[in-house]
Structure 1
Amino acid sequence: MRLFACLLIGLLTSLSMTAEAGFRCDGKIVKRGDRMFEVRELCGEPDVVVPLHSVYTIRYGHVPTREEWQYNLGPHRLMRFLRFQDGRLTQVRTGRHGFRPGNGACSPGQIESGITQMELVSKCGKPREKELRITGVHYRTERDGRVYRAGMPAEDWIYDFGPRRFIRIVTLINGRVVNIETSSRRGSRSAS
């Protein structure tokens, strides 16, 4: 019985290490060190691209040096999050089960701290507008407990749910909802 338990633990450990090292796209494994074009050829366009860090150059403007590609593989498979550094795949993380895309018409109560940018767009559609800023406070996500320190780049997504509801400001850091704030202003008639 002990031998069986040890073998099972070893098998599960190797499977989880394989899942973190890469994943299959069209029968081929995408792995660390692959270039962006190679991943795109095998897996297609990601559902969401989240720029994590960029460098400003005079000739080209902001050039992303780190970004995350998010893939929603549907409700029967796990979501994948691929991190790239300087055009090379450096990390593959596995998320929760994927989901069927929604119709983009959500209520404010459906926005939760900790969900990914991809889940937010699927539930609520694109925001009315986006504002980019540097954070002045610490944020903690509820789902994974990760703490984002002050000084991180963040996007505030503004959602207008119509004249009977208050506007919501949804803060995203690294492609994850970290805060939901209710504005003192109600939405516009054109949003309903």
Structure 2
Amino acid sequence: MRILIQCLLLFSLLGLSLDADASLRCNGKLVKTGDRMFEVREHCGEPDVVVPLHSAYTVRHGHVPTREEWQYNFGPHRLMRFLRFQDGRLVQIRTGKHGFRSSPGSCSPNNLETGMTQLELAARCGEPRSKELRVTSKRYRVDGLGRVYQAGQAAEDWIYDFGSNRFVRIVTLINGQVVNIERSSSRGS
């Protein structure tokens, strides 16, 4: 009987921690899964980064996003939040690392890391010299657990120029996450 009570207590605690990520408090208002995009924007403000994850093509409107992720950096005293929307409704709220203050002027190749979010990359290094959209021809590892993005994914290459004495870096992002950092054979300008 005692073991049963302990198990129920454990499951209820796990249930509470899972539900904690299903909502977010912004400016005193509760944002939860199922909310519409305009409601989230009204309570939390504009996201720091919007990452389109999937779109559908219509003749009348062109590419219309069906899934996207909004990335919020609430500063160094709060955790970053990643909100996924499908067809205009909030379907997932994930919690990231502690937020940060932007300092794009102090970026070096050593600041680049696989696994960082597009939000972290933009905050650390600012806008790249250029961006290139492409479809991947190889697999990219997502994390240390062995998960991968298969070939054929939409990817964005951000090209960073760190000056004439350093090689240009090509940072590959898939779904708003850095999956590869490549050193170019050419030096910056």
Question: TM-score scaled to structure 2, two decimals?
Answer: 0.91
Distance 1:46 1:139, change over 3 A: same
Q: Does 1:107 align with 2:112?
A: no
RMSD value over aligned CA atoms? 2.0
* Cα drift, residue 104 of structure 1: 3.6
Partners of 2:60 and 2:161 in 1: how far apart?
A: 37
Distance 1:145 1:49, change over 3 A: farther
Question: TM-score scaled to structure 1, two decimals?
Answer: 0.90
Distance 1:100 1:4, change over 3 A: farther
Q: Deviations over 1:79-135 (max 9, x none)?
A: 111000111111111111111212343001110000000000011000011111111
5+ residue gaps, structure 2, are none
Partners of 2:187 and 2:91 in 1: how far apart?
A: 43
User: Which residue identity does 2:68 align to in structure 1?
Assistant: E
State whether residues 113 and 143 of structure 1, in contact with CA within 8 Å, keep that contact through their aligned partners in structure 2: no
Q: Does 1:62 align with 2:63?
A: yes
Which 4+ residue blocks in structure 1 deviate beyond 4 angstroms? 1-8
User: Which residue identity does 1:15 align to in structure 2?
Assistant: L
Partners of 2:48 and 2:112 in 1: how far apart?
A: 19
State whether residues 55 and 63 of structure 1, in contact with CA within 8 Å, keep that contact through their aligned partners in structure 2: yes
Distance 1:68 1:57, change over 3 A: same
Q: Does 1:117 align with 2:101?
A: no
Say how many residue pairs are matched. Answer: 188
User: Which residue identity does 1:70 align to in structure 2?
Assistant: Q
Counting only pairs closer than 5 Å after superposition, residues 1-192 of structure 1 correspond to structure 2 as 9-10=10-11, 12-142=13-143, 145-188=146-189
Q: What secondary structure is seen at the aligned counterpart in 2 of 1:50?
A: strand
* Cα drift, residue 7 of structure 1: 8.0
